[in-house]
Amino acid sequence: QVQLVESGGGSVEAGGSLRLSCAASGYTYSDHCVGWFRQAPGKEREGVAAILPRNGDTYYADSVKGRFTISQDSAKNTLYLQMNSLKPEDTAMYYCAADPSIRGFSGSWCYSRLGLRRYNYWGQGTQVTVSS
């Protein structure tokens, strides 16, 4: 049974930082894409970043490139999202997602599948609120 459990959200002022974590279980973690997407009220869901744990290949949305860093610890089956220089427009519910249905190829491929909503599993979400 695939499970994804996020933690680490909260409220910060603009320019601040937060680190999200996601503990994954129930599948072979390293071979499959994992990533983060977010959704703000009244807005479309947006893929934030994706990573292929097997080789650490990553890909980011343009809106977060240079500010957010996705990483993972294969020994712990845990995914992270370090968010720096946060902006009010980053306010959203953040979800960790996994795609264990197919073996991943690259970070960009993982991100494209995130955008296409091909990931079959995601966590309960964690709220990030950035005040101006």
From first to last of its 132 residues, what are the pLDDT tens digits of the chain? 999 999 999 999 999 999 999 999 998 888 899 999 999 999 999 999 999 999 999 999 999 999 999 999 999 999 999 999 999 999 999 999 999 988 999 999 999 999 888 899 999 999 999 999
The backbone torsions φ and ψ at residue 108, rounded to the nearest 5 degrees and listed phi first, read -65, -40
Spatial separation of the C-alpha atoms in residues 83 and 50, rounded to whole Å? 14
**DSSP conformation class of 88:** G
